A = this chain, B = another copy of it.
Amino acid sequence: MFANTPKPPYYAVIFTSIRIDEDRGYAAMSDRMVELVQQQEGFLGFESARETLGITVSYWRDEASILAWKAVLEHKEAQEKGKSTWYTGYKIRIAKVERDYEK
């Protein structure tokens, strides 16, 4: 359930979003993206939760891996559909994880 990330440094993409009420193809796309992202070079894992606000944090080896994932054709189509249809608003922050600890 927690992403099993390596020792820092590595990268986090913090994606916060508010969705429309209807599905409009979102669930199927979401399942497909989860499948696809795991094949990406440099992908380290992700954590996700949604109440009204949704937060998905994906973890990456480096910035190049993040940019490569952003450019994957199917993912670009999903990004477009997200922007035009599924999300009323979102915010994406790219951050370098410098340290971590856990219980």
Enumerate chain A interface residues (CB-CB to B < 8 A).
Answer: 1-3, 5, 8, 12, 14, 16, 18, 47-55, 57, 83, 87, 89-103
Contact = CB atoms under 8 A, between A and B. Distances in A.
A95 B1 contact: no
Contacts of A12: 12, 14, 93, 95
Shortest 5 CB-CB distances between A and B: which pairs?
A95-B95, A49-B49, A91-B102, A93-B100, A95-B97
13 contacts: A1-B52, A3-B16, A8-B93, A14-B97, A16-B47, A16-B57, A47-B53, A48-B51, A48-B55, A89-B103, A93-B100, A94-B98, A95-B98
Contacts of A18: 1
